[in-house]
A and B are shown apart, each in its own frame.
Chain A
Amino acid sequence: MTTTEQRPRATAETSGTAAAGTGAPDRATRSGGEILIQGVGHVFPSDTGPVEALRDIDLRIAPGEFVSLVGTSGCGKSTLLNIVAGLLSPTRGTVTITPAAQDADARLPRRAYITQDDRLLPWRTAVQNVAFPLELHGVGKRERLARAHELLDRVGLADFAQRRPSELSGGMRQRVSIAQALVYRPAVLLMDEPFGALDAWTRESLHELLLDVQAELGTTTVLVTHDVFEAMGLSDRIITLAPRPGRILREYVLTDFPRPRSHRELQTPHFVEIHEQIRADLGFRT
């Protein structure tokens, strides 16, 4: 097991590491943790011999930062996210998540993970799903239901607390997933194509919601997406990955552009240039 974790305490700044992105500013945050990915490589065994999915990934993601990983399919971005999520042990290297010092409840999990296919439990109502992480870690019934209702209200589903996932639309299920992920104030929020299956309108409203709560809670967020516009609209930093083996190509720091960024803003020359560079990184004709 090479994925390590540290209990809440002041982050020892690992200055001078080879990690990319040390230029990103640390924000004053309430719950964001630091993600340090060092020398991560991963090899999958397969029938036709081992497949190298990731090679030499070094990346530091600052507390409260919003980073998007962009790449063509097969670039290992989901593998990297699974490693950060702790679902997969990397063949080489380490991932360290250091929660914010003032992170109060050490009982609760530090990571949240939202995927394209929601992981809501179909036998539980929306509010029971949102309260589930708290239930697993000994938060009393009254308190966890109160917190779950609060979060459901926050994502605009106060009236749907008693509905089961099968009675909700895809967009509403993702809202519940976001509420469930944020109810325990995780140090890091990991998202793998969370809005991929949704229509453009729903996606945009979820982008707004995500930016709001992310700014409010300061949760460190890593988003895997193939939608360059989505990445440009939301991120502090975009990392492009090259495929076979997956490795970091380049990074684009967007901290100078305040959010929310309007659709019109994303059409300005600066963003058009970034978009074209990213397309070039990914091997598309610009």
Chain B
Amino acid sequence: MSVLTDPKLSTELDNPATLLPERRRAAAGRSWLVKAAQHTLVVAVFLAAWQYASGRFVDPLLITDPVSVGRQLLEWTENGLLLFHLSFTLQALFFGFVSGAVAALLLAVVFTRLPRLGRFTETYIIAFNAIPNIALVPIFIVWFGFGIETKILMGYLTASFIIFIAAFQGLRNTEARYLELARILEANTVQTLLKIRIWAAMPFLASAVKMALPKTALAVVIAEFLGSNRGVGYLVVRASNLLDIPALFAAVVVLTVLVQTLSLAAAFLESRLLRWIPKEKR
């Protein structure tokens, strides 16, 4: 084989992704360490400034201070309240998100098979979503009470809408050439769905999951705000009712960490699912 057509040579020249993976990985590791150090520094400076300002420039009743917040968090951890409330929220989130995602995916699959019905119904689904779902919580409370059902339902509605829109769009926009391949290779409907359409829709699905997971968590917490005796949302409301400012800040910290963790987890999941797309195209 001539040098010009040697495939090995030509990719290595064409494609920077094939160049020395060890070296790239080492560079990525270093930059990760640098970034972590930078963020730690920023947070540390912020906390120190907050601690210093509290009681000197600003009334501690208004902004409390990091040490009190930390003490509150420690107390909740020790007496099990944190786990008690967090587990409630996570349960509602889990059931709401999973049921919403499954229902959305099934509906999108059905509508992909019946595109006219799909486009017709989609109008109503989008109209329904225009209702701010916070306004529905009181209705759900009347229907289902103050228990976990209302929170699951809120999570379900939030997750299913976001995932349905993305899944429907992704599944019906499979590139024609892949569908032609399926026809040439005589793939059946189920194989075309599972081995081609779902994968082709994966960028849509992954970004929908990334968006939906933190939003679903917030929807659950909002349902807890409006009527509950458990959950991270309840922690916030109770602290606010008692004017317990350190507890209020601590509850907000728990909420922030929860949502941030979910966002990171979803972003990680997305990058795993889309590993086959070159980074610069993602």
B202 near A171 with CB under 8 A, answer: no
CA distance A133 to B196 in the complex (A): 13
- B178 interface contact, C-beta 8 A: yes
- A167 interface contact, C-beta 8 A: yes
Instruction: Tell me which residues across on chain A come within 8 A of B181, comparing CB atoms.
Output: 119, 121
Instruction: Tell me which residues across on chain A come within 8 A of B8, comparing CB atoms.
Output: 159-160
Q: If the complex has contacts A85-B184, A172-B11, are A167 and B199 also in contact, measured as CB distance less than 8 A?
A: no
B185 near A86 with CB under 8 A, answer: no
- What distance in Å separates the Cβ of A55 from its nearest Cβ neighbour in chain B? 25
| A109-117, A232-240, A242-250: which lies at the interface | A109-117
Instruction: Tell me which residues across on chain B come within 8 A of A133, comparing CB atoms.
Output: 185
- A15 interface contact, C-beta 8 A: no
CA distance A137 to B181 in the complex (A): 14
Q: Interface on chain A toward B: helix, strand, loop, or mixed SS?
A: mixed
B5 near A201 with CB under 8 A, answer: yes
Instruction: Tell me which residues across on chain B come within 8 A of A157, comparing CB atoms.
Output: 7
CA distance A171 to B178 in the complex (A): 19
- B14 interface contact, C-beta 8 A: yes
Instruction: Tell me which residues across on chain B come within 8 A of A268, comparing CB atoms.
Output: none
Instruction: Tell me which residues across on chain B come within 8 A of A85, comparing CB atoms.
Output: 184
Interface string of B164-197 (1 = CB under 8 A from A): 0000000000000110110111110001000110
B276 near A123 with CB under 8 A, answer: yes
- B62 interface contact, C-beta 8 A: no
B277 near A122 with CB under 8 A, answer: yes
- A164 interface contact, C-beta 8 A: yes
Instruction: Tell me which residues across on chain B come within 8 A of A87, comparing CB atoms.
Output: 180, 183-184
CA distance A156 to B8 in the complex (A): 10
Which residues A147-191 have CB closer than 8 A to chain B?
A: 156-157, 159-160, 163-164, 166-169, 171-172, 175
- B278 interface contact, C-beta 8 A: yes
- What distance in Å separates the Cβ of B161 from its nearest Cβ neighbour in chain A? 26
Number of interface residues of A (CB under 8 A): 35
- B40 interface contact, C-beta 8 A: no
Closest to B181 in A: A119
- What distance in Å separates the Cβ of A225 from its nearest Cβ neighbour in chain B? 19
Q: Which of B11, B184, B187, B195 contacts A111 (CB 8 A)?
A: B184
CA distance A139 to B59 in the complex (A): 74
- What distance in Å separates the Cβ of A170 from its nearest Cβ neighbour in chain B? 9
B276 near A122 with CB under 8 A, answer: yes
B178 near A169 with CB under 8 A, answer: no
Q: If the complex has contacts A136-B195, A164-B276, A167-B11, are A119 and B177 also in contact, measured as CB distance less than 8 A?
A: yes
- A205 interface contact, C-beta 8 A: yes
Instruction: Tell me which residues across on chain B come within 8 A of A267, comparing CB atoms.
Output: none
Q: Interface on chain B toward A: helix, strand, loop, or mixed SS?
A: helix
Q: Which of B18, B185, B278, B281 contacts A109 (CB 8 A)?
A: B185
CA distance A164 to B18 in the complex (A): 12
- B37 interface contact, C-beta 8 A: no
- A132 interface contact, C-beta 8 A: yes
Interface string of B1-45 (1 = CB under 8 A from A): 110110110110011011000000000000000000000000000
Instruction: Tell me which residues across on chain A come within 8 A of B277, comparing CB atoms.
Output: 122, 166
A156 near B1 with CB under 8 A, answer: yes
- A102 interface contact, C-beta 8 A: no
Q: Identify which of A109, A117, A136, A137 gathers the most chain B CB atoms within 10 Å of its CB.
A: A136
Closest to A157 in B: B7
Instruction: Tell me which residues across on chain B come within 8 A of A113, comparing CB atoms.
Output: 180, 184
- A202 interface contact, C-beta 8 A: yes
Q: If the complex has contacts A87-B184, A113-B180, A169-B11, are A121 and B196 also in contact, measured as CB distance less than 8 A?
A: yes
Instruction: Tell me which residues across on chain B come within 8 A of A135, comparing CB atoms.
Output: 195
Which residues B135-186 have CB closer than 8 A to chain A?
A: 177-178, 180-181, 183-186
- What distance in Å separates the Cβ of A184 from its nearest Cβ neighbour in chain B? 8
Which residues A84-122 have CB closer than 8 A to chain B?
A: 85-87, 109, 111-113, 115, 117, 119, 121-122
CA distance A87 to B183 in the complex (A): 7
Q: Which of A109, A124, A168 contacts B184 (CB 8 A)?
A: A109
Interface string of A243-274 (1 = CB under 8 A from B): 00000000000000000000000000000000
Q: Which of B15, B180, B186, B187 contacts A119 (CB 8 A)?
A: B180
B278 near A166 with CB under 8 A, answer: yes
- What distance in Å separates the Cβ of B173 from its nearest Cβ neighbour in chain A? 15
The 4 A-B residue pairs whose C-beta atoms are closest, nearest first, are: A123-B276, A119-B181, A205-B5, A109-B186
Residues of A within 8 A of B (CB): 85-87, 109, 111-113, 115, 117, 119, 121-124, 132-133, 135-137, 156-157, 159-160, 163-164, 166-169, 171-172, 175, 201-202, 205
10 new A-B contacts at CB < 8 Å, known A86-B184, A112-B184, A136-B191: A121-B178, A121-B196, A121-B199, A122-B277, A124-B276, A156-B7, A167-B18, A169-B10, A169-B14, A172-B7
Subset of 13 A-B contacts with CB under 8 Å: A87-B184, A109-B184, A111-B184, A119-B180, A121-B178, A122-B276, A123-B202, A136-B186, A159-B7, A167-B11, A167-B17, A169-B10, A201-B2
